[in-house]
Amino acid sequence: MGQRIRIPPGRRVRLKDFEPDDTSDCDDKDEALEKLEKHRQRLGELQRLLFADAGQALLIVLQAMDGGGKDGTIRHVMSAFNPLGCRVTSFRAPTPEELAHDFLWRVHREVPPLGWVGIFNRSHYEDVLAVRVRRLVPPSVWRRRYARINAFERLLADAGVTILKFFLHISKGEQKRRLEKRLEDPARSWKFDATDWEDRRRWEHYMRAYEDAISLCNAAWAPWHIIPADKKWYRDLVVSERVVEAMEKMRLKYPRVRIPRRKRLEK
């Protein structure tokens, strides 16, 4: 049994207690890839049930430091979902219109409707992470947001939305390797942003911000999972496993359809 993935509510999190390169649940890459493919097939089946049932929705939140693997997780795991019933939302710096509203306004608009899967690449948590570390608002503002996030997520859960939150936990050394590799590859260097290096210098500040966000906004109806993400194949395996598990607990069923008896055809 490897290190804990799902964090129990009420527990104070220290990220130094979690190994980003842990693979103890499955240390064989080939075996992990085989399991991942089975999970992907199951996710496709479960999504069809979700869409047909149309009484629940699934929201997957992905958070990580730059280079942590949010895009890769979406590509290798979430691509199992049919785009006709799945929407990916990437949250960037808010627009002037978004800044004119409360911080959750733009997020609530992107919550998946019943029957759908929604995937957040970054999320409302940026308003207690980047906003805090970069000092974009005073502490008196971001400290109040934890309670509002909890209330928001409880509202969604009460409305039939299953929420899964994943922190893709990579080491500082692995992040450096990935960012340097990104710069060397013309197909990926366009993704590079100077703020990536600036945020890297704030690493410890981000770790404390993540610890608070995970500790203070972790509930049974919206649990946090800390995913060891130094090994991409292991990250994908664990995330896919958790999503399958959550969707199976939704007890989805195809709706019953009453088919009228066919009338005899006239001769």
261, part of any domain: no
pLDDT < 70 stretches in the chain: 1-2, 191-192, 260-267
pLDDT, position 266: 58
258, part of any domain: no
pLDDT, position 38: 97
60, part of any domain: yes
Rounded to whole angstroms, how far apart are CA atoms 17 and 232? 20
1, part of any domain: no
Q: How many domains does the chain have?
A: 1
222, part of any domain: yes
Could you tell me the CATH number of the domain that includes residue 108?
3.40.50.300
pLDDT, position 48: 97
pLDDT, position 225: 97
pLDDT, position 190: 74
pLDDT, position 4: 83
54, part of any domain: yes
6, part of any domain: no
Average pLDDT, the chain: 93
197, part of any domain: yes
Give the domain extent around 130: 15-249
